[in-house]
Structure 1
């Protein structure tokens, strides 16, 4: 074996993580680095990397922090080519970047729904498509953080859940095709996680209720229920990132991993609900 090939064999595996400014993406990037991976931690706005850099320093790990906007194909291409140029390989991708959204069809525009799909669905496809040739070369892994909202539709989350349903369906369909060429595909489904994700939606709750018209009463009920869940039952980002790390490091990772017992029970309601009555009966209680 040549000196060059020996060095390559000894070099750490390389994982690219999107959406690492906070929350699960930040925690997963740090956890992967602690597990010995070379982590390329990307975010749309590099000026928001302060918390990421602080967490890495506190954990005693180094991250390669780069800009990547998942909705911009040129930005994705630049990031992927930069990883290959500087590290020589790409062994895994963790699609984590996403944006929350609250609304219902009658009170929002179709363009708003398209925007949600661009970030949460097409953004995943941009990154995955650019990465796949390189993941084939390394027998790598394609991991996407979805949501329990990618399995169970939730009131006032129509657009968000539609995007996450689309991701789950796409990846479930892609998984056997990618596996035939040596690439493992997994989705990770968090429930409520104590992150900046909800805050980043930018909600003024009272203004939303005041503007909801005939939907004001069910929206108020939904917001009260959901706020209580996030205050009292949310996981930490580090806890949720454990499932991401399992998908990254397990010998044979499952296609679908939930991040908590609650998430397993909640998604299990849908996966065993052949006629839909259990799910609709459950979520109807959230808005009454």
Structure 2
């Protein structure tokens, strides 16, 4: 039986992969989960390079049966669950007039309801161990951004869910934290499936502001994106600190960006800031 067992979702690449390796390096028994086990090659290679062992399992956050099986399997095999790191998610770029409500529902299913599902399954075991619930959100969970309506809505929902749950879970011994990355150079960006030319061709009246948004965002990633390894440091801080904060940003830029919203009582500063993205 391990004294420290953590389950992490979405570990095929990016922050999830690096967090899994770092948690194992820190001495945690690490259950690294991913939707498609055939995509575990990079994860296995990273673990081998680091000289650590991972327990790699299948978990699809949008499938309740998969979530239940994974969590119950971990407890059956390792005797306990001390931490859950909700990391799985998917990006999305679009605006509501040019997409369907079902498109928005799909974004919510992965980024919000997937988190809710894994949290619900893990909580009884986290209560038993006095454990930790950590969720990787985004600066987009604090500051709404153009052409990210569905994505930011999902991340806002996650932040509201966790902020509301934190004092309740805390009364029963479970620490709750959210980690807010800014730009991170990961496969997450590629997983959006963003084809700027096709997106602009279908944008209609939104083409000009969308073009400016895409150019600005590509430039930001080129200039200031963190590596996944750098962002994962903050995730491990939430996992190992004696008393982790509820809200942690992964970089100075993310801290300054979210501070714009958190100190903006009437919302004018945020609207002026993001409006500037559009020229």
Place the TM-score, normalised by the shorter chain, in its bin. over 0.9
1:3-82 → structure 2 map (5 Å cutoff): 8=1, 11-82=2-73
1:242 maps to 233
2:172 maps to 181
Query: Normalising to structure 2: TM-score of the pair?
Result: 0.99
Superposition deviation, residue 204 in structure 1: 1.1
RMSD: 0.6
Query: Normalising to structure 1: TM-score of the pair?
Result: 0.96
Residues 41 and 63 in structure 1, CA contact (< 8 A), matched pair in contact too: yes
1:223 maps to 214
Equivalent residue for 2:114, pick from 115, 123, 132: 123
1:81-230 → structure 2 map (5 Å cutoff): 81-230=72-221
Superposition deviation, residue 12 in structure 1: 3.6
Secondary structure class of the residue paired with 2:215: helix
Task: Summarize deviations over 1:36-73 as a string: whole Å, max 9, x none.
Answer: 00000000000000000000000000000000000000
Superposition deviation, residue 92 in structure 1: 0.1
Superposition deviation, residue 203 in structure 1: 1.3
After TM superposition, the runs of 4+ consecutive aligned structure 1 residues lying more than 6 A away are: none
Q: Could you tell me which runs of 5 or more consecutive residues in structure 1 were left unpaired when the two chains were aligned.
A: 1-7
Superposition deviation, residue 85 in structure 1: 1.1
1:5 maps to none
